[in-house]
Amino acid sequence: MSPVSQSLLSRFAVVTSIFALLMVGVVAATRPDGGGSSAVAAGPVPVTLTEFAISPNRVVVTQGGSLSITNSGSQAHNVAITDTPLVTSDLSGGQTETLDVSSLEPGEYEIFCAVAGHLEAGMVGTLVVTDGSAAGDQAAGGSAGGGHAGHDDLASLDPMGEHAQRINKEFEDAMSAGVQTYLEYADKYAAGEVDKGNRKLEPEILEDGTKKFELTAAITDWEVTPGNIVKAWTYNEQVPGPWIRIEPGEKVQIELTNNLPISTDIHWHGISVPFEQDGVAPITQDYIRPGETYTYEFTAPDHPELGMYHAHMHGQVAIVNGLFAVFQVGDVDLPRGRTISGVEIPADLQIDQELPIVVNDAGVIGMSINGKGFPLTEPVVAKQGEWVLMHFYNEGLQGHPMHLHRQPQIVVAKDGFPLEAPYRMDTIWVSPGERYSVLVQAQEPGIWAFHCHIVSHAESDDGLFGMVTTMIVE
pLDDT for 205-258, tens place per residue?
Answer: 999 999 999 999 999 999 999 999 999 999 999 999 999 999 999 999 999 999
pLDDT at position 25 over 70: no
The pTM for the full model equals: 0.77
Q: What is the mean pLDDT of residues 122-143?
A: 70
Decide if 413 contacts 419 (C-beta within 8 A): yes
pLDDT at position 335 over 60: yes
**pLDDT > 90 fraction of the chain, expressed in percent and rounded:** 74
Of 100, 76, 74, 75, the closest CA to residue 87 belongs to 100
Q: How much is the pLDDT for 163?
A: 83
Of 111, 117, 118, 120, the closest CA to residue 178 belongs to 120
pLDDT at position 97 over 70: yes
Rounded CA separation 249/290 (Å): 32
Q: How much is the pLDDT for 28?
A: 34
pLDDT at position 270 over 80: yes
Please tell me the total number of residues recorded for the chain in this structure: 474
**pLDDT > 70 fraction of the chain, expressed in percent and rounded:** 86
Decide if 257 contacts 216 (C-beta within 8 A): yes
Dihedral of CA atoms 229, 235, 241, 246 in degrees, nearest 10, equals: 170
pLDDT at position 26 over 70: no
pLDDT at position 455 over 60: yes
Mean pLDDT of the chain: 88
Residues of the chain with CATH 2.60.40.420: 1-28+182-191+341-474, 38-147, 195-330
Q: How much is the pLDDT for 30?
A: 34
Decide if 271 contacts 301 (C-beta within 8 A): yes
HSE-CB of 124 using CA atoms within 13 angstroms: 17
Rounded CA separation 329/252 (Å): 11
Residue 178, SS3? helix
Residue 340, SS3? strand
Q: How much is the pLDDT for 137?
A: 53
- Determine phi and psi for 243, rounding to 5 degrees: -80, 115
Q: How much is the pLDDT for 196?
A: 96
Would you say domain 1-28+182-191+341-474 falls under CATH 3.40.50.300?
A: no
Query: Distance between alpha carbon 5 and the CA centroid of its chain, in Å?
Result: 25
Q: How much is the pLDDT for 24?
A: 39
Q: How much is the pLDDT for 43?
A: 62
Decide if 403 contacts 427 (C-beta within 8 A): yes
pLDDT at position 135 over 80: no
Domain at 38-147, CATH from 3.90.1170.50, 2.60.40.420, 2.160.20.10, 1.10.1040.50: 2.60.40.420
pLDDT at position 27 over 60: no
Decide if 216 contacts 259 (C-beta within 8 A): yes
pLDDT tens per residue across span 342-397 = 999 999 999 999 999 999 998 899 999 999 999 999 999 999 999 999 999 999 99
| pLDDT grade for 144, boundaries at 50, 70 and 90 | very low
Q: How much is the pLDDT for 52?
A: 82
In sequence order, what are the residues at sequence separation of 6 or more whose Cβ sits closer than 8 angstroms to the Cβ of residue 165? none
pLDDT at position 331 over 50: yes
Residue 103, SS3? coil
In sequence order, what are the residues at sequence separation of 6 or more whose Cβ sits closer than 8 angstroms to the Cβ of residue 18? 405, 447, 448, 449
CATH H-level superfamily of 195-330:
Cupredoxins -  blue copper proteins (2.60.40.420)
The amino acid that residue 394 corresponds to is N
Q: How far is CA 21 from CA 24, 271, 381, in A?
A: 5, 41, 22
Q: How much is the pLDDT for 207?
A: 96
pLDDT at position 16 over 50: no
Q: How much is the pLDDT for 2?
A: 52
- Are β-strands 366-369 and 353-362 bridged in parallel, bridged antiparallel, or unpaired? antiparallel
Which 8-state DSSP code applies to residue 396?
Answer: S
